[in-house]
Structure 1
Amino acid sequence: MGNYRIRSGDTLSSIAQRYNTSVDALMKANTQIKDANVILADDKLNIPGAKDEFVEGGGTPGGLPPPGQQLHTAGPESVEGPAEIGEMPEGQVGDWIRQATEKLKAAGVPVEKMNPQDIAKIIQHESSGNPNAINLWDDNAKRGTPSIGLMQTIQPTFDAYKLPGHDNIRDPVDNIIAAVRYSIDRYGSVSNVPGLQSMNGGGGYVGY
């Protein structure tokens, strides 16, 4: 099984044709893909039966453009010289943050707005790293929308800020993706959430 790095404009159908395989086979070899019509630029794709490692050109042999319609991919047109996301925390939480921020970067989220260390601080204060954490006692819970998951998002917020194919609020990567997008939209960056600003000023953590 070889690997291919998805480029902007690719579809599963075009990649399947390129490697003489099927969309179904690609889906089985890449269980992280939940919707055959949605793939993210710069993700690594396992190619069943292929020996090529990271086809950097993103095209067919001979430099021809890939077959199929160029739809359903996310991310910038060029992935040359990608900006570094930043130093990752260690452990399982760090792995989840790495996966989420890579997805977010591929979707066009500026890396400077999602500091991994600050994401980890929010996770620690909100859920202590437990992806199944749920708040059943605050005002949100009383309204029927309890805060859930690593970064304690309520379902309406999660639904508004999730990425396509990342639909499980209890999935740690999906939860981080939605919470980071919400934080950036509301506060400008993860580092600007009230809890971190309070801590930086010598105060205690407050929810966001």
Structure 2
Amino acid sequence: MFPGRRAHDPSSTRRLTRVSLALLAGGAGIAAPLLTAGGAHAAAPAQPKEQAQVVRTGTAPQAKTAEESGSYTVAGGDTLYRIAVDHDVKGGWSALYKANKQTIGGDANLIRPGQKLTLDVSSAPAERSAAPERADRSSAERSGGVQKTRSTSLDGWINEALAVMKQHGIPGTYEGIHRNIIRESGGNPNAINNWDINAQNGTPSIGLLQVIKPTFDAYHVEGTAYDQRDPVANIVAACNYAAKTYGSIDNVNGPY
């Protein structure tokens, strides 16, 4: 749905560009863990002289630090995905985020130059709780606690999503949702983007609002189907992301 954002200097002005979110309408997808360090969310904090030097001299000093201490200092342009790949982190960006959530904060999209991340994810408590969480979700689906989409038309999907959004206090209107769906997928719940940077990184944009799995996982709303292609689940997760990032899906009027 919403774009991954390309790296830029933390002092630059905020821009809203997307990496991917639509197949049929040429859009791009939400790239939660793929956003670059120092991206549009917030300016990077002032760095100590030693950290600033690391950023200026490239990745080699950081690689050495990682080898020596099992840690990594974030540089401008980094993403959790790329750090995980470069350092063979078991469990990928998700495990890396869970192990460093206290340092990064509640938004996996936002990492800042100068942050020191541990590459040792073996003892991350969130990893140990992942299996029970999946079991609870599966149990809820079997017991009817999860409501799959009932409607068979775009109009019905949007209205079902609006009802769920109202229950959870997620802002958005029919017009805002419809406008973005038409641009991003043309109304096809099975639309998939197989060509952009997210697809190349193994997380293609899927569904009505072209959400990649990391973002769907992060912004999935309880009570909706755990399926990127489920129309209502896709809409609600996308609108939840838009609310946290842009204030509302209604504020999204183009590439994002």
Per the normalisation by structure 1, the TM-score is: 0.50
Per the normalisation by structure 2, the TM-score is: 0.41
Q: Which has the higher contact order (CA 8 A, sep 6+)?
A: 2
